[in-house]
Amino acid sequence: MSTLTQDELKALVGRAALQYIEPGQIVGVGTGSTVNKFIDALASVKDRIRGAVSSSEASTARLRALGIEVWDANEVERLSVYVDGADEIDPRGCMIKGGGAALTREKIVAALADRFVCIADESKWVETLGRFPLPVEVIPMAAQQIARRFAALGGQARLRLKDGAPWVTDNGQHILDVSGLRITEPLAFESMVNDWPGVVTVGVFAHQKANVCLLGTAQGVRTVEF
């Protein structure tokens, strides 16, 4: 039985991700509680990197508070590595992401990177995606018609709320969380939902899947390559 808490497992994989950081490079940085542990670890080697491209206002604030320069994605042609967490990851390296509402910017930064390193604790490992409600960033006027499309697939879409009002993303849009799905073909599913009018980003990461997953387990960090 593991004596490590989930928080300690997150710190473990956050530190382990430093092995993929190349000196003199700009690092792609994701969003969320596990990534916060990586950002804290990154501060220990900040003199060896040029800075970071961030996927959210929250990560940007944390990076800057630790003295790490943050670059705009438009200033960077490519990144050697992007480090981010996942709400679920399957044996192919496909993920569900967006629990922190940063999925659109996460895909943008991931698309710049040569390698996607996913950091997660073992509770995020699943055989089939869909147990975690799928986040979908939508343009508000399309929310109900998108919800009906998911209903036709057997999913139940709920508008994400904060303090009783619709959650507003860093991009000024809303989030639908869709439960009741089993996503057996993530690549095809992502492509299909991306084509629906009003969808900004679907939280299936199959086109930008992980190349490596550092999984925090009771036995330590398990490295899975895809």
Q: At 188, which CATH number? A: 3.30.70.260
- pLDDT for 50 equals 97
Digit-coded pLDDT (tens) for 73-102: 999 999 999 999 999 999 999 999 999 999
- pLDDT for 162 equals 95
If asked whether residues 61 and 89 sit together in one domain, one would say yes
Output the average pLDDT for the chain. Answer: 96
In a domain, 60, yes or no: yes
Phi and psi at residue 186, to the nearest 5°: -60, -40
Please give the residue range of the domain that contains residue 98.
6-125+207-225
- With cut-offs at 50, 70 and 90, classify the pLDDT of residue 1: very low
If asked whether residues 109 and 34 sit together in one domain, one would say yes
Determine if residue 124 is labeled as part of a ligand binding site. yes
**DSSP letters along the chain, please?**
---S-HHHHHHHHHHHGGGGPPTTPEEEE--SHHHHHHHHHHGGGGGGS-EEEESSHHHHHHHHHTT--EE-GGG-S-BS-EEE--SEE-TTS-EE--TTS-HHHHHHHHHHBS-EEEEEEGGGB-SSBTSSPEEEEE-GGGHHHHHHHHHHTT-EEEE-EETTEE---TTS-EEEEEES--BS-HHHHHHHHHTSTTEEEESEESTT--SEEEEEETTEEEEEE-
Determine if residue 33 is labeled as part of a ligand binding site. yes
If asked whether residues 23 and 74 sit together in one domain, one would say yes
If asked whether residues 74 and 105 sit together in one domain, one would say yes
Say if residue 2's pLDDT is above 70: no
Determine if residue 220 is labeled as part of a ligand binding site. no
If asked whether residues 20 and 109 sit together in one domain, one would say yes
Q: At 97, which CATH number? A: 3.40.50.1360
Tokens 């990154």 sit at which residue? Answer: 42
Q: State the amino acid at position 220 in one-letter form.
A: G
If asked whether residues 93 and 142 sit together in one domain, one would say no
Decide: 148 and 201 in contact? Cβ < 8 Å: no
Determine if residue 97 is labeled as part of a ligand binding site. yes
Question: What pTM value is reported for the model?
Answer: 0.95
Q: Which position among 106, 137, 190, 225 bears the catalytic label?
A: 106
If asked whether residues 139 and 98 sit together in one domain, one would say no
In a domain, 164, yes or no: yes
Determine if residue 154 is labeled as part of a ligand binding site. no
If asked whether residues 199 and 211 sit together in one domain, one would say no
* Domain total of the chain: 2
If asked whether residues 60 and 86 sit together in one domain, one would say yes
Digit-coded pLDDT (tens) for 102-118: 999 999 999 999 999 99
Active site residue 69: no
If asked whether residues 35 and 114 sit together in one domain, one would say yes
If asked whether residues 212 and 113 sit together in one domain, one would say yes
Region 154-167 average pLDDT: 97
Digit-coded pLDDT (tens) for 189-202: 999 999 999 999 99
If asked whether residues 33 and 95 sit together in one domain, one would say yes
**Hey, what are 109's tokens?**
């930064």
Digit-coded pLDDT (tens) for 6-47: 888 899 999 999 999 999 999 999 999 999 999 999 999 999
